[in-house]
Chain A
Amino acid sequence: MNRIAAACVSIAVLIALTLGSMGLTGEAAALGPYRVGLVVQFSEGGFVTDCVEFDQPEISGCDVLDLSDLSVSYSPPGTYGQAVCGIEEVGCPTADCFCDCQGVDCVYWAYYHLLAGAWEYSSVGCSAHSVHDGDVEGWAWGPGTYGATSQVKPPLFTFEEVCVPPPATPTRTPDPVPPEVDFWADPDEVVAGQCSTLHWSVDNGELVALDGEGVRPYDARYVCPSETQAFELLVLNAAGEFNYQVTISVRQPTATPYPTTTHAAPPTATSRVTSPPPPPTETPTAEQPEARTSPPPTGTPTPPSTPRPTVVAMLSTGTAAAPEPQDAAIAQPTVQASASEEEPDDTVGLDRILLLLGVGAGTIGFGTVAFVATVILLLAIYFRARAQF
């Protein structure tokens, strides 16, 4: 009996732990932002620093690189993760990740952590190392021994040197600076029933609110307005109160609109375009005729001060960890646009089906047909032969 009881208790504890850990991760996503310093040494002399913000209490070293505005190429994934092949233009192509290696002697991207004011060579790769608030990560391209040593180190920076000014104490700065805000909709013009994504990135803001509701400084929201609607982003910091507006104009076809639920949907894949409004790549809005009445709305800030037109490095949105398929995001407007252009009265359903058929035939069409034909041929051989033997 004791044994059974013990087993029950341990199972219960296991379940509780599981649920607890799940709960914890869910909760943790709401905290933040946390910050980490990043120092990347490209070659002798050339280096870049970046301060990366993130929402989870713990992310991997690879995530830090992903969240920075550097372009990083990883090797094709292995069983445990990826290797860093190149950062920006320096390094190896993804196709041949350790191209400068002879056995263990390599020129490669060495990985460091700042520990007690000195760079420590990382014995593990970036996906296996977890990074916390206040850490500094270093990368250096140079010769060394694969996985053991490297002859180069990134220049030494402390966390405070990389991440200035710390936004946690903006009130104490003698000269309060206005927040840097990017706020735009993608696309900014939709057909009724179609949805759009509001993006914003706020640097140096203490409080950010969208239509009166507190939101995170880097985020996006999926909205499906039924009629032209203005969205307002309110940003507060020591310099005052700032308002930004984006209008999503809605054209009214006679087709029935989508149910307009403005739920906080998972983030769509955001392209790293910084100038608002970004022309959505390959979306038909750019190709549509000029017969548009409403001017393309921009993030028009209301007084007191215009935000500086700095190109804010779009550190990716807070929840960029799980990007949705990009083609899905593109494909949807295509359907709607073609419907609105040619036969606005037609039902959306037929168009969808046609498109699906087209996509199917285009991508796997011939192959699928050939495959099915081969299988049918095999089955025919089987039944013919079975009759004979």
Chain B
Amino acid sequence: MSFLTGRGLSALILTLATLLGGIAFLYPFFVPQQRGSAGGFMAHAADAPVTFLILLLLCLVVIIANLETRQMDSKVVAVLGILVAINAALRLIPGPAGFTAMLFLPILCGYAYGADFGFLLGTLSLLVSAVVTGGMGPWLPYQMFSAGWMGMASAWLPPLRRFGRVEVIILALWGAVLGLVFGAIMNLWFWPYLVNVGASNTHGQPGAGLWATVGRYAAFYLTTSLWWDMGRAIGNFLLILLFGAPILQLLRRFRKRFQFAID
């Protein structure tokens, strides 16, 4: 019974919502594969973006609500608020080649303070920065979700503290990878507008569909957005490599002071 009432239920909700969110992100790859094409369904290919946008918003709300069901400590609220503000302020500083230090803090905080904290920091940073700059767009739910995932995923890294300097190098590499992943999944919001998602799969022969779509996306990604994402990856890598150690130290020091009730 305790499984259903406590942490288990929370994990179940999180898993289900993440799965649904994943579907909302990745449906462009599956729609053509599942239904080769087809009249009624083809017609609905055009409205898939709005359907999945709604699904994504729902998932976002559910995850946040799930994180909220515990009464949050005033310290957690305050620290999250301030860190979100710092992250949004950092995003306002234009870096070279359009790079903004946006994923840097969620990754480190997720790693230091846990998955919930990382998810909320990533998600809310994007929301607040959009509110402050007037940059609300169709991409916002996608951005919030992706950045939240990045923060959450960073908490899944094993504790690396005992490795000393290697910890920062691993984190820096992790940041580079996440920078690329972030770009790759962020393109998906407008991908359905570029290709004919939901129409018959590529070669008429089913099966080839999924891989052909993935291949097509890969080719698109390599030719267009990879350069920006490279910038993001390299930026994350350098930032974490150079400042990761002192900032982690800082975060851990404050963690002791706050006596966080996280995890």
Complex contact flag A–B (Cβ < 8 Å): yes
Residues of A within 8 A of B (CB): 62, 74-84, 93-99, 101, 103-104, 106, 108, 111, 122-128, 145-148
User: In the complex, what residues of A have CB within 8 A of residue B202's CB?
Assistant: 78-81, 125, 128
B34 at the interface (CB under 8 A from A): yes
B81 at the interface (CB under 8 A from A): no
Those of B199-226 within 8 Å (CB) of chain A: 199-209, 212, 216
B187 at the interface (CB under 8 A from A): no
| Main SS at interface, chain B | loop
The answer to whether A76 touches B39 (Cβ under 8 A) is: yes
Those of B17-37 within 8 Å (CB) of chain A: 32, 34-37
Q: Which of B34, B205, B216 contacts A83 (CB 8 A)?
A: B205
- Report the Cα distance A108→B195, complex, angstroms: 25
The answer to whether A95 touches B208 (Cβ under 8 A) is: no
Given A81-B203, A147-B208, A95:B40 Cβ within 8 A: yes
The answer to whether A124 touches B203 (Cβ under 8 A) is: yes
The answer to whether A96 touches B196 (Cβ under 8 A) is: no
The answer to whether A75 touches B200 (Cβ under 8 A) is: yes
B42 at the interface (CB under 8 A from A): yes
Q: Which of B34, B39, B42, B204 contacts A127 (CB 8 A)?
A: B204
Given A75-B200, A76-B42, A123:B205 Cβ within 8 A: yes
The answer to whether A147 touches B38 (Cβ under 8 A) is: no
The answer to whether A148 touches B207 (Cβ under 8 A) is: yes
User: In the complex, what residues of A have CB within 8 A of residue B42's CB?
Assistant: 76
The answer to whether A78 touches B32 (Cβ under 8 A) is: yes
User: In the complex, what residues of B have CB within 8 A of residue A76's CB?
Assistant: 37-39, 42, 199-200
| Main SS at interface, chain A | loop
User: In the complex, what residues of A have CB within 8 A of residue B39's CB?
Assistant: 76, 93-96
User: In the complex, what residues of A have CB within 8 A of residue B34's CB?
Assistant: 103
Q: Which of B40, B41, B201, B207 contacts A78 (CB 8 A)?
A: B201
The answer to whether B199 touches A122 (Cβ under 8 A) is: no
CB distance from B30 to the nearest CB of A (A): 11
The answer to whether A98 touches B35 (Cβ under 8 A) is: yes
- Report the Cα distance A93→B40, complex, angstroms: 12
CB distance from A38 to the nearest CB of B (A): 16
CB distance from B37 to the nearest CB of A (A): 4
User: In the complex, what residues of B have CB within 8 A of residue A79's CB?
Assistant: 195-196, 199, 202, 216
User: In the complex, what residues of A have CB within 8 A of residue B196's CB?
Assistant: 77-79
CB distance from B190 to the nearest CB of A (A): 16
User: In the complex, what residues of B have CB within 8 A of residue A111's CB?
Assistant: 205
Given A75-B200, A76-B199, A128-B203, A98:B37 Cβ within 8 A: yes
The answer to whether B208 touches A78 (Cβ under 8 A) is: no
CB distance from B192 to the nearest CB of A (A): 12
A interface footprint on B217-240 (CB within 8 Å = 1, 0 otherwise): 000000000000000000000000
The answer to whether B204 touches A125 (Cβ under 8 A) is: yes
**Top 4 closest pairs, chain A to chain B, by CB:** A147-B207, A125-B204, A95-B39, A125-B203
User: In the complex, what residues of B have CB within 8 A of residue A81's CB?
Assistant: 200, 202-204
User: In the complex, what residues of A have CB within 8 A of residue B212's CB?
Assistant: 80
Can you name 18 A-B pairs with beta carbons within 8 Å?
A62-B204, A76-B200, A78-B200, A78-B202, A78-B204, A80-B203, A80-B212, A81-B204, A82-B204, A93-B39, A95-B38, A97-B200, A98-B35, A104-B206, A123-B208, A124-B203, A124-B208, A148-B207
CB distance from B132 to the nearest CB of A (A): 27
CB distance from A199 to the nearest CB of B (A): 31
The answer to whether B195 touches A104 (Cβ under 8 A) is: no
Nearest chain-B residue to A129 (Cβ)? B203
User: In the complex, what residues of A have CB within 8 A of residue B204's CB?
Assistant: 62, 74-75, 78, 81-84, 125-128
Nearest chain-A residue to B198 (Cβ)? A78
- Report the Cα distance A122→B205, complex, angstroms: 9
Given A75-B37, A78-B196, A96-B40, A104:B207 Cβ within 8 A: yes
Which residue of A77, A98, A148 has the most chain B CB atoms within 10 A of its CB atom?
A98
- Report the Cα distance A62→B200, complex, angstroms: 15
Given A111-B205, A123-B205, A124-B205, A77:B199 Cβ within 8 A: yes
Nearest chain-A residue to B216 (Cβ)? A79
The answer to whether A97 touches B36 (Cβ under 8 A) is: yes
The answer to whether A78 touches B205 (Cβ under 8 A) is: no
Nearest chain-A residue to B32 (Cβ)? A78
Nearest chain-B residue to A84 (Cβ)? B204
User: In the complex, what residues of B have CB within 8 A of residue A147's CB?
Assistant: 205-209
- Report the Cα distance A75→B205, complex, angstroms: 11
